[in-house]
Amino acid sequence: MSSPLKQSRRDQLREGSPWTGLWAVVAKEMADHLTSVRMLILELLIVLTAAGTVYAAMQNLRDTVSQDPFLFLRLFTTAREPLPAFVGFLGFLVPLTAIALAFDAVNGEFSQRTMSRVLAQPIYRDALLFGKFLAGLFTLALVLTTIWLLIMGLGLLGLGVPPGGEEVARSLWFLLMTIFYGGIWLALAMVFSIVFRQPATAALASIAVWLFFTAFWGIIADLLAQVLRPVQVGFPQEILARAQLELALSRLSPNTLYAEAMLATLNPTVRSLGLVLPIQLHGAVLGTPLPLRQSLLLVWPHLTGLIAATILLFALGYVLFQRQEIRA
C-alpha cells in the first residue's frame, strides 16, 4: 500500500492541463517525419510527379493563353499522354503519403518499448495521441503547400502570365481540400496503428482499406443500388431512384467526395455534382463560369464530409488508445 506522501507526489505530477507537452510532441514528431528516409523518398516522388505533369500540361496550354480566363487552374487538370493530370496523381499519392506518416505512430512506440517511458513524463495520453496526429497533418500540409508553390512557380515561368485572384483562391481551396482528404487516411492509419501491435500489419490494413474504396466500392455501390432499388417496370421514377441511391452510396467513399469537390473547385463551369434533369437546365447559360462563392456552396457538403470523417476516425482512435493497457 502506497504512502500518502507518494500518492500526493503522483497527483502533483499529473496536475495541470491534459494537453501539457502537446507542442513538444508535435515538434519532435515533425522532426522525425521530415528527416526520415521514407518521407524523403515520398517527397522526391511527389516533386518529380508534379514537375512532370505540369510540364506536360504546359505544352498543351501555351496555345490557349488568350482564350482561357482560368489558365492556371488547367495546370492541375490537363493531361497529356502518357501522363495523367496532376490531380489524378494526387488521388493516388496523398493517401499513400498519409499512411506512411501514421501507420507506426503508436505501435512503433510499443515495439521500441518507449511508450511507458514517454507517458511516465508529465504528458497525458491525450497530448501524446493528438500531438502525433497534428504532427502528421502539419507535415502533410507542409509537403502539399510546397508542391502547390512549385506548380504556381512553374506555371508562372512557363506560361508567362500571372494568375488571377480567383484562380489563386480556387487553388488554395483545392489545397485545403487535399489536406483534409489526406487527414482521413492519416487518421485511419493511426487507428490501425493503435489496433495492431505490428507496424507491417497496420500498414497493410490501411492500404487494403484504401484499395477497397478506390477499386471496389464503386462496383459494390452499383450492386447494392440494384438490390435495394430494383427497376421492375422501367418507369423513369424507378430509374431515377436507383441512380440517386447509387450516387449516395458512392459518396460514402472519401475518394468520391474528394473527386467531386476537386472537380467543382478547379472547373468553374461545373454547375452541379449530382444528377441533373433536362428541366433543371431550363434557362441556364451553359459554359458560363460560376463565381467562387457559388462553387464553394456546391462543394461545402463534400468538404464537411471530409472534415467529419477525419474527426470521427480520430475520435475512434482516441477511445481505443485510452482503453489500452500500457505496461512498463
The tens digit of pLDDT for each residue in 182-209 reads: 999 999 999 999 999 899 999 999 999 9
8 Å CB contact between 143 and 46: yes
Instruction: Supply the pLDDT for residue 172.
Output: 93
Exposure of 174 by Cβ count < 10 A (0-12 exposed, 13-18 middle, 19+ buried)?
buried
Q: Count Cβ neighbours within 10 Å for each residue of 57-87 and write b for 16 or more, e otherwise.
A: bbeebeeeeeeeebbbbbbbbbebeebbbbb
Helix (H, G, I), strand (E, B) or coil at 94: helix
Instruction: Supply the pLDDT for residue 116.
Output: 73
Q: What tens digit of pLDDT does each residue of 124-149 get?
A: 888 888 999 999 999 999 989 988 88
Whether 13 has a pLDDT exceeding 50, the answer reads: no
* Global confidence as pTM: 0.86
Of residues 136 and 277, more confidently modeled: 136
Instruction: Supply the pLDDT for residue 275.
Output: 61
Instruction: Supply the pLDDT for residue 267.
Output: 86
Whether 173 has a pLDDT exceeding 70, the answer reads: yes
Q: What tens digit of pLDDT does each residue of 67-119 get?
A: 667 777 888 887 767 667 788 888 888 999 999 999 988 888 888 777 777 77
